[in-house]
Amino acid sequence: MRNKSILVTGAASGVGKAIAERFAAEGASVLITDLNAEKAAEVADAIRMRGGRAQAAQLDVSDAETIDRAIHVMIDWTGQLDTVVNAAGMWFGGTVLDVDPDQWRRVLEVNTTGAYLLARAALPRLKETNGSIINIASVAGLKGTAGTVVYNTSKTAVVGLTKCMALDFAAAGVRVNCICPGIIDTPMVDTVLGHFGEAFTREALARRHPLGRLGKPEDIAGAAFFLASDDASWITGTSLVVDGGTMAGA
């Protein structure tokens, strides 16, 4: 990954942070982007303290202007863009009767439209480097789940977007893949637990995975690093399931 330039969204915490740290540890130049500019800067500072190469920029995945500005930061810094990792996302629970139109639009805006806007802005640069796009989707994008209709819908759309872009830009040398995690132990889990109340505990969620534990952000970081590497040079349009076995019986 040395001499590679990576932009990661949602990189101030959770899965995005772990992905950014993994790429930096492998020698890449990483742009830490997040809606929370202060936390993004803290992550970049910590990476530099460990000898890595990192800069930070504020980015709202639902705002095309902030995406363009972040890409310009990367180009001004390194002169190129090799991989974008779309790790920004949000969760919201409820049935179609529980989710009001504004909530519906906001989840789709962040989880789905954000992936589209990032790809649209990054693709001209990725064509120059035979680069790649990695979208963080979810096993929720591969199956139905009671009580999480808008989240599942948004992630199903990300899986479809990934496949279509892979076909559209293969001839240009750009690979597009997504990762479908199971339940990862991040602050988002607290949101899920708060929504469902006593019916859900961390232990109960862990038991849903045949390997007997929740995923770690580092599990997804390893998958993202693989998909961006030369070892995955003949992989595009795939949905890489990293879920502790939950989809094995689906």
Tokens standing for residue 103: 């909530």
Q: In sequence order, which residues have a C-beta less than 8 Å from that of residue 63 and are 6 or more positions away?
A: 117
- For range 162-187, the mean pLDDT: 96
pLDDT at 164: 99
pLDDT in tens, 43-92: 999 999 999 999 999 999 999 999 999 999 999 999 999 999 999 998 88
Spatial contact of 5 and 31, defined as CB atoms under 8 Å apart = yes
Spatial contact of 161 and 112, defined as CB atoms under 8 Å apart = yes
Residue 105: CB atoms within 10 Å: 14
**What average pLDDT is seen over the chain?**
95
Active site residues: 151
pLDDT at 187: 77
Domain boundaries, the chain: 5-242
pLDDT in tens, 179-238: 999 989 987 777 777 767 666 788 888 888 999 999 999 999 999 999 999 999 999 999
CATH code for the structural domain at 5-242: 3.40.50.720
